[in-house]
Amino acid sequence: MSATPNNNGAIPLLAATGLSKLFGGVVALDKLDLQVFANQILGLIGPNGSGKTTFFNVTTGIYPVSAGRVVFDGQDITNLSTQAVYRAGISRTFQRSRLSLALSIFDNIMIGNHKRLNQGLWFNLARRDAFRRQFEESFEEARELVQVFDAPLADRMFEAIGGFPMIDRRRIEICRALISRPKLLLLDEPSAGMTQEETTELMDDILEVKDRFHGLTIVIIEHEMGVIERITERCVVLNFGQKISEGAYQEIARDRLVQEAYLGIE
List residues binding other proteins (CB under 8 A).
60, 62, 81-83, 86-87, 91-92, 94, 98-100, 102-104, 107, 110-112, 114-115, 117-119, 121, 124-125, 128, 131-132, 135, 139, 143, 157-160, 176, 180
Distances (CA, A) of 182 to 101, 105, 122, 240, 251: 24, 20, 27, 30, 30
CB 236 within 8 A of CB 243: yes
Give the containing element (helix H, strand E) for 196: helix 196-212
> Is the Cβ of residue 27 or residue 157 nearer to other proteins in the bound state?
157
Cβ proximity to other proteins: between 119 and 250 the closer is 119
| Residue whose CB is less far from other proteins, 34 or 99 | 99
To other proteins, the closest distance from the beta carbon of 2 in angstroms equals: 28
Find the shortest distance in angstroms from Cβ 159 to other proteins.
Answer: 8
Spell out the residues 6+ positions from residue 120 whose beta carbon is closer than 8 angstroms to its own.
none
Burial of 198 (C-beta count, 10 Å sphere; 0-12/13-18/19+): middle
Q: Work out how close the CB of 19 gets to other proteins at its nearest, in angstroms, rounded to a whole number.
A: 19
Least spacing, CB of residue 117 vs other proteins, in Å: 5
Comparing CB distances to other proteins, the nearer of 115 and 254 is 115
